[in-house]
Amino acid sequence: MTEKEYLNAHSTPASEALQWLERQTHLRTNHARMLSGREQGSLLSLISALANPSCILELGVFTGYSTICLAEGLAPGGTIHAVEINDELEDLIREGYDRAGISDKVQLHFGDAREIIPTLDCRFDLVYIDANKREYPDYYRLVIDKVATGGLILADNVLWDGKVLQDPMPQDAQTKGIAEFNDMVAADPRVEVFILPVRDGLSIIRKLS
C-alpha cells in the first residue's frame, strides 16, 4: 500500500457529489490537473468547518470542487461569493452545486476578480485564492481590508512547483507574482502566516487587526 492509499483509507471519503464532479471534470475539461482533489479538498472542508464562516470569497472556481468543500463549513444562512473568469464552465459548475445542494448558498460571478472584488459589500470570514497567479498581489491588496479580524485567507500554489525556491528564480510573470505575494504577506504586520507544504503549497493567513 502506498502512502497516498494509506492516507485515503484512513480519511473521510469524498462525498458522492465531489466524486461525480471529479469524474466529470476529467471527462469534460482539458485541465483536470487544476482540480483541488480529495486531499486538498478535505483540508479546505476541515478549515472551513473550524472557522464556521458566514461569508466566504473564492477567487478561482474552475469546476466548483473547492466551492463545495468550503460550503461544508458555512454557518447557517451564510453565503459564498465565487468568482471565475471562464464562463464556459458555468453549466458544469452549476450542475455540481445542484448535486451538492449548495446552489442557494453560492453567488457565482463571472469576470475579472480585480473588478468584481470592489463591488462586493461583505466582511469576509474566509477567502480562498486560487486564480491567476500573476495577480495574487492585486487580490491580496483588494481583499485584506474586507477580511474580518480573526478571518482567514487561504492561497493555493504558493510554492509554484518549487520555482520560488530556485536561485536564480525564473522571471516569468506567474512565478514573479507568487514570489511577490509571499514576500508581501510575510512582511505584513496585520497578519500571521504559515505555508503548509500540501501539494503545491497552501498559505494559511490569519488577519490580526
The whole-number pLDDT of residue 174 equals 96
The Cα–Cα gap between 161 and 178 comes to: 11
The whole-number pLDDT of residue 209 equals 76
Domain count, the chain: 1
Give tens-digit pLDDT for 37-76: 888 899 999 999 999 999 999 999 999 999 999 999 999 9
Cell of 187: 512582511
Diameter of the chain measured on Cα atoms:
49
The whole-number pLDDT of residue 37 equals 80
* Four-residue CA torsion sign, 184, 128, 157, 174: negative
Residue 190 has phi, psi (to 5 degrees) of -80, -10
- pTM (2 d.p.): 0.95
Give tens-digit pLDDT for 166-187: 999 999 999 999 999 999 999 9
Distances 37 to 81, 128, 175, 200 between C-alpha atoms, Å: 21, 15, 23, 12
Residue corresponding to grid cell 455540481? 96
Low-confidence ranges of the chain (pLDDT < 50): none
The whole-number pLDDT of residue 202 equals 96
Residue corresponding to grid cell 448535486? 99
> Three-class SS of residue 12?
coil
The whole-number pLDDT of residue 39 equals 85
The whole-number pLDDT of residue 7 equals 83
Domain span at 17: 3-207
* Domain at 156, CATH number: 3.40.50.150
| CB proximity list for 170: less than 8 A, separation 6 or greater | 163
* Four-residue CA torsion sign, 87, 92, 95, 101: negative
The whole-number pLDDT of residue 133 equals 97
